[in-house]
Structure 1
Amino acid sequence: MTSSSCGSLHKQQGRISSSRAVFIAIVTLVFLWIASGFIFRGDTEKTNATKSNLPSVAVRNSQAQLVARELTLNGEIRPNQQLNIRARTDGMLEMIADSGAEVSQGDVIAKLSIDDREVQRTQAEAQVKKAQSDFNATKKLIEQNLSSQSQLQALEAQLEAARAQLRRITFDIENTELTAPVSGVINQRFIEQGAYVSAGNQVLELIDNDPLIAIINVQQSQIHRLKLNMPATVKLIGGTDRQGQVSFIAPIADPQTRTFRVEITIPNQNDPIPSGMSAEVTIETNNVKAHKISAAQIKIDAAGRMGVLTINDNNETRFSPVTVERADVNALWVSGLDDETRLVIISHSSLTAGQKVTPKPVPADYDKGEEL
């Protein structure tokens, strides 16, 4: 083979090697492109699958509002006064008011027999006159040195004894009539007409229901919120509401319960109601910023704290402790949250604090009872 032929052959082999290298490079790039498509698609599908597996929750942006803070406690309704009228002298009961009778202050509600007390008073008056006369006469004799000072002192003692007897008889006569110390209603009679009454015996019970007094016991942690003359709403059994105001706050706590007795005075002139019933007392104390939520949103954590679920900027759930400041018919007002917060309104599964979720808006028809 000639040298020129060998050179041509080497050049041809070089071109073949270069072409093969290019071909291999192109095949490799195509393979990598195809493979990368599968890889990225797998990552995308994995990401989409992970995202689709996150629980969906309905979230509402809530803005705190200034609301009247309320203190609501159960209590009982008591009369303004509950009096047991007792006899102050002896005698047969000649007259007594009927149970349920309405009486005014000063009305005669029972009467005892006088018997011979008028005669006794006449005799006592005569004894006083005689003792006074003897005392005056002896006093003049002493001025004339015709009597002793000791005799005058004895007559003075007799005069005082006669006066005391007259006062006792007069007292008995005046107290044969029992009068109502206040206006009210006769609740019950302890003795019937015709019976003999001794001094100190209960005769009647008189109830003064105007005004009424609602009694509640307030915890130590809440008593600082109350002040005299604060308005209060008293809800009675049967749905009747009455307005009143705080009229008494105990200056010292009950040593057994560590609660403070608080009284609310309720006018009871128009359409009067009886005492002795249970009642729910609500007192508006001060204003506080609070969020309006449903009672269904309230959760209890492992520590026994009451709270709600909220969503942070990373779409993670958070348990936020709250305090119920006010309870309306259809909602609760709670404090303890930021002024602006994202509340979890609806969720289909149990959520835990720190869980990643997919937030969605609350459906427009949720308030009508529709679910997400």
Structure 2
Amino acid sequence: MKIIPVITALLVLAGLYMVVFEREMLVGFAQSTAAEDTPLAADMETQDEATPSDESLVGVVAMHSVAQTIDSAVILRGRTEAARQVTVASETSGLVISEPRRKGASIVEGEMLCRLDPGTREASLAEARARLAEAEGRVPEAEAGVIEASARVREAEINLNAAQRLSEDGFASETRLVSAEAAMEAATAGVQRANSAVASAQAGIESAQAAVASAAREIDKLTITAPFSGLLETDTAELGALMQPGTPCATIIQLNEIKLVGFVPETDVSKVNVGATAGARLTSGEQVQGRVTFLSRSADELTRTFRVEVTVDNDDLAISDGQTAEILIASDGRTAHLIAQSSLTLDDEGVLGVRTVSDGNIAQFMPVTLLRDTAEGVWVTDLPETVDIITIGQEFVVDGVQVAPTFTEVKG
């Protein structure tokens, strides 16, 4: 039989006996031993109770951030739109007698797009011109009648004056005087009729001129031309097609200047001004730049947004109508802080903000407004000019907790 296991068992039994049955004696012995410790140890214990050690503080990483002035921008989602677009239609009826132009062709202002069969329109013009010449020939005849009637008036006036003097002297009868007065009235009426004939001849001329102009205008309508330079978006009307008033001949678009069209929400409309610099990134990756040329002063009834247009040069016709574009419109600069997106957090009410290190290394939540998201980080505002922002560990502290910050270099 081995003696060591037996001795070990006895020592364990003795220890258990002392812990269970002689516990008060053991506690007294331990207290007397602690009272014999040196005064230095007692002082250190008192100091530890008064001041918490660094191990009891929450360690965080923070950075000293200073606000910077940045160019703010209004970001919109929009599309490209042709500067001008029109569907040229026929103003009269007739068969197309011109060869069609194919879509995509470049045209210049005044170039012919469609020509219609004149039919009897040229004969109508010739007839109207003949009637004009006839009406113009009546005017001299009517004017001669006026001259003749005026001469008769002067003759009747002389006879009337003579008859009146002879009647006063008793050398002429009353019958002669009455006859002279009647002749005078007849001559005056003749002048009026002659003047009416002249007016009628003049009216005939004006009517004939209107008929000539109408016939000439009808012939002009037979040739449909481009109102401005651009590109054909559709084929022109086919040869032999019957055109009626309002029938489309072709659609033309102008792309040497192009518009970027977007809609600004109510909250940002005050940040946009006509003449402001703007840029856009197209779906193809191409970046363009222009200026704001129009800002609607009336909101859309459904979306409560305001239409804004940016005009961009497109001399090489690289930009097409209807492309999706991300539009950035410059506005007045603001002061903001550049921080890592991971530094953002939410408080108990769901407000976006950051946790900062205030006086005494106390954690404090501050709400922020997000201005812009960039590859370097996010720009936020509504913070003091200088602030210490917790970048790591902000999720493990709450307001009023004392932290042990380790500072890193600021971004930006």
Query: What TM-score comes out, normalization by structure 2 length?
Result: 0.73
- State how far apart, in whole Å, the 2-side matches of 1:333 and 1:53 are: 34
Q: Could you tell me whether the CA contact under 8 Å between 2:346 and 2:352 is conserved in 1?
A: yes
Q: Which residue of 2 aligns with 1:287?
A: 333
Q: Which of the residues 214, 218, 240 maps onto 1:172?
A: 218
1:99 maps to amino acid: K
How far is the alpha carbon of 1:47 from its aligned partner?
Answer: 6.5
- State how far apart, in whole Å, the 1-side matches of 2:90 and 2:326 are: 39
Q: Which residue of 2 aligns with 1:86?
A: 89
- State how far apart, in whole Å, the 2-side matches of 1:231 and 1:42 are: 68
Q: What percentage of aligned pairs have identical amino acids?
A: 25
1:115-166: per-residue Cα shift (whole Å, max 9, x none)?
Answer: 2322221121111111221233223223322654444444444333322221
1:205 aligns with 2:208: no
Q: Could you tell me whether the CA contact under 8 Å between 2:355 and 2:394 is conserved in 1?
A: no
Q: Which of the residues 398, 401, 404 maps onto 1:352?
A: 398
Identify if the C-alpha distance between structure 1 residues 213 and 300 changes in structure 2 by more than 3 Å, giving closer, same or farther: farther
- SS at 1:324 equivalent: strand
1:112 aligns with 2:112: no
| RMSD between superposed Cα atoms in Å | 3.2
Identify if the C-alpha distance between structure 1 residues 135 and 234 changes in structure 2 by more than 3 Å, giving closer, same or farther: same
- SS at 1:94 equivalent: coil
- State how far apart, in whole Å, the 1-side matches of 2:239 and 2:376 are: 57
How far is the alpha carbon of 1:60 from its aligned partner?
Answer: 1.1
Q: Which of the residues 322, 340, 350 maps onto 2:368?
A: 322
Q: Which of the residues 45, 55, 59 maps onto 1:56?
A: 59
- State how far apart, in whole Å, the 2-side matches of 1:182 and 1:35 are: 104
Q: Could you tell me whether the CA contact under 8 Å between 2:296 and 2:306 is conserved in 1?
A: yes
Largest Rg, 1 or 2: 2
- SS at 1:88 equivalent: coil
Q: Could you tell me whether the CA contact under 8 Å between 1:54 and 1:358 is conserved in 2?
A: yes
1:57-86: per-residue Cα shift (whole Å, max 9, x none)?
Answer: 211111112222222221221111111111
- State how far apart, in whole Å, the 1-side matches of 2:129 and 2:339 are: 82
Q: Which of the residues 260, 276, 288 maps onto 2:306?
A: 260
How far is the alpha carbon of 1:302 from its aligned partner?
Answer: 4.7
- SS at 2:392 equivalent: strand
Q: Which of the residues 125, 149, 152 maps onto 1:121?
A: 125
1:109 maps to amino acid: L
- Structure 1 stretches of 5 or more lacking a match? 1-27, 367-372
- State how far apart, in whole Å, the 1-side matches of 2:196 and 2:33 are: 149
- Structure 2 stretches of 5 or more lacking a match? 1-31, 150-189
Q: Could you tell me whether the CA contact under 8 Å between 1:55 and 1:349 is conserved in 2?
A: no
Range with greater deviation from structure 2 (149-158 or 281-290):
149-158
Q: Could you tell me whether the CA contact under 8 Å between 2:64 and 2:408 is conserved in 1?
A: no
Superposition map of 1:264-279 within 5 A: 264-270=310-316, 272-279=318-325
Q: Which residue of 2 aligns with 1:158?
A: 204
- State how far apart, in whole Å, the 2-side matches of 1:176 and 1:90 are: 8
Query: What TM-score comes out, normalization by structure 1 length?
Result: 0.80
Q: Could you tell me whether the CA contact under 8 Å between 2:256 and 2:317 is conserved in 1?
A: no
Q: Could you tell me whether the CA contact under 8 Å between 1:345 and 1:362 is conserved in 2?
A: no
Q: Which residue of 1 aligns with 2:351?
A: 305
- State how far apart, in whole Å, the 1-side matches of 2:394 and 2:373 are: 26
How far is the alpha carbon of 1:339 from its aligned partner?
Answer: 1.5
